Chains A and B, each alone.
Chain A
């Protein structure tokens, strides 16, 4: 389907939600929902998306939606999916009439890398047929920008501040995709709202996969990363162009994970000179300001560049 055709699809996330101006989660959630193909139930972990879209008595969700807690989106989804399956088998119960129901779970990086990792791992291991969408804005934004397992090294957050001694978060970002891929599920993909067609196509593949699928969305956050709200899409694009967040998908084929680079990243793989330096990405965000002011920390910028390069090389080893 072309963008023009997809643009005609009604939005399932209604306007009037209270996410920040320029919120990357809002764009991503809208695009994810553009891929909905039939009867769908959504569950969401606690986080910005959940809070800002359902302030009682209002809701922005035009599909059946439930939030229960922070760490259990995957377990909630397991229950919804299993209930549907049981009703289908019995031929009775309120959902038995549906041929199929897609179940989508949204969670942030806190709800995925950290507190929700166990429930996610359990649901993936059990093979529930659902799509888990990780909205990764790289910190606990809903509680006011605290570091998570998804926060990158050197980023300043309110619990990993850039101080006189310590320059922001000390740990590297947890390799969540590799952890998920290690569960040998049918479909894993990275997406960015900056590439809408790619995102919608992958989300559709995830819905079509039989069994668990995982979509890792890179979600710039103007408030938490400290950049002007109109740059959300540009920054997401830069993350792909620097190979900090390459776009790829991974299918399990005959028991082996098969990685495929998506076109924006594939073109860099073929033309390495197009890979942009990480500095361009870092300098645009207040959370990395201390790498440039009051004095330039070339040592740290170099360290980050080397990390990006290494991760990119490791991906190329798998994907080419």
Chain B
């Protein structure tokens, strides 16, 4: 396959997602407006109003119902999409676990926003991090282009026969959602061919073999009562499906690269080969960090970065390979985990190295809560303290707060 001709459109992150979903043309989109996700719902409603999609758009009365509606639609064998942010995701919380446990490959865009209280509409990752154990695949995007590309790949990943899990596309509120970028878009038919038709695992139900979906001709029961004699056995396959998603995310990212020229993986390293100090992080901040790395490199500092695209499943093995040689690693967490040792990404990254003989110095940098900007100067500060840690041979502080007034 060769790279296809693409159309350059000026789209913000939300519009990029809406445009991709228009091309996917799912059966059901059920969503509820919440800043900064609202543009996705608005644009998609316009596509519906103009007859550009065949989707049933359901303007539900809450986020809980948004996901419940998607669950019903996917259980009936349809494709369903929703999107939300912050409190909306928190209201969905119950249903996120249920969607994943029912093995329904719903796709949801989470336009990352800080959780209340106090109420705040700006970006941090406390919303999606709260859902990190719900059983959803989580892919964090760096820019609008990636949001578009991921909103297409997500269907292939989630619906993969080995996976069958819902996928959360995370993009930073306002920083991506409301910022106009040039986005290369694939032709509709290429998108539709890429995602293909949804396929269903076969199951042995009480009335014989059937596809895993609600069908009057081959009835199955979904969502039974499961007690201590079976519940555990039903959780274990979810663990396995997550593991299997790791190579699938890579495979789909490569295949997507062949048609679009943009290849995606679990991790996206930058100037890491010979780096002595590096930052690890998620989302749009890593775009800024790339500029800072270049700046430091021009001054002779051996700096690098590792952007984690897949936080769930967590690519621990790949992280180990990517960072083992680095002397001091700073993990950037746009989320505080109250009462924990550090932020969620820090805990994962640091844990990945526990059994490793080669262990970098690893410390945590909590930043950007409630949309506080992470400037290049702040990132330089991070690298500067990493350099100090490197010289000291230990983290001088395990958790630092960047951009916080003392």
| Chain A residues engaging chain B, CB cutoff 8 angstroms | 38-41, 43, 50-51, 54-59, 61-69, 71-72, 74-87, 89-90, 92-95, 98, 101, 118-119, 121-123, 125-126
Contact = CB atoms under 8 A, between A and B. Distances in A.
B216 A63 contact: yes
Contacts of A74: 65
A112 to B, nearest CB: 15
Contacts of B226: 56
Contacts of A93: 27, 77-78
Contacts of A126: 58-60
A78 B75 contact: no
Those 10 A-B pairs whose CB atoms lie nearest each other, nearest first: A79-B72, A122-B61, A83-B78, A75-B68, A39-B216, A54-B224, A72-B68, A86-B27, A79-B69, A75-B65
Interface string B48-78: 0000001110111110110011111111111
Contacts, number: 178
Given A78-B58, A79-B72, A95-B215, A71 B225 contact: no
Contacts of A83: 27-28, 56, 72-74, 76-78, 80
Interface stretch (B109-117, B206-214, B312-320): B206-214
- How many chain B residues sit at the interface, stated as a range, is 35 or more
Given A57-B230, A71-B64, A86-B27, A79 B80 contact: yes
B35 to A, nearest CB: 21
A59 B210 CA distance: 15
Nearest to A119: B65
B300 interface: no
Contacts of B56: 82-83, 85-86, 89
A94 B214 CA distance: 9
Interface in B157-189: none
A68 B98 contact: yes
A79 B28 contact: yes
A297 to B, nearest CB: 40
A128 B216 CA distance: 19
B227 interface: yes
Contact of A68 (B58, B68, B229): B68
Contacts of B98: 68-69
Given A64-B215, A83-B27, A41 B206 contact: no
A83 to B, nearest CB: 3
Contacts of B77: 83, 87, 93-95
B225 A50 contact: yes
Nearest to B213: A94
B94 interface: yes
Contacts of B396: none
Given A39-B216, A95-B215, 20 more contacts: A54-B221, A55-B227, A56-B224, A63-B216, A66-B75, A67-B224, A68-B223, A75-B60, A75-B69, A79-B28, A79-B30, A79-B68, A79-B72, A80-B73, A82-B56, A118-B62, A119-B61, A119-B64, A119-B68, A122-B62
A50 B98 CA distance: 16
Identify the interface centre among A65, A76, A79, A119: most chain B CB within 10 Å of its CB.
A79
18 contacts: A41-B214, A50-B225, A55-B224, A56-B226, A69-B94, A75-B69, A76-B69, A79-B74, A86-B54, A92-B197, A94-B211, A95-B77, A95-B78, A95-B215, A119-B65, A122-B60, A123-B65, A125-B61
Contacts of B224: 54-56, 59, 67
Interface string B69-112: 11111111110100000000000001100100010000000000
Nearest to A122: B61
A61 B219 contact: yes
A55 B226 CA distance: 6
B29 to A, nearest CB: 9
Nearest to A36: B216
A90 B95 contact: no
B220 interface: yes
Given A79-B70, A87-B27, A121-B61, A64 B225 contact: no
A114 to B, nearest CB: 14
A172 to B, nearest CB: 26
Contacts of A86: 27-28, 54-56, 73, 78
B190 interface: no
B222 interface: yes
Contacts of B215: 64, 94-95
Contacts of B65: 72, 74-75, 78, 118-119, 122-123
Contact of B216 (A56, A64, A68, A82): A64
Nearest to A41: B214
Contacts of A123: 65
Nearest to B32: A122
Contacts of B80: 79, 83
Contacts of B211: 94
A82 B219 contact: no
Contacts of B214: 41, 64-66, 80
A66 B61 contact: no
A66 B30 CA distance: 19
Contacts of B74: 79, 83
B206 A76 contact: no
B78 to A, nearest CB: 3
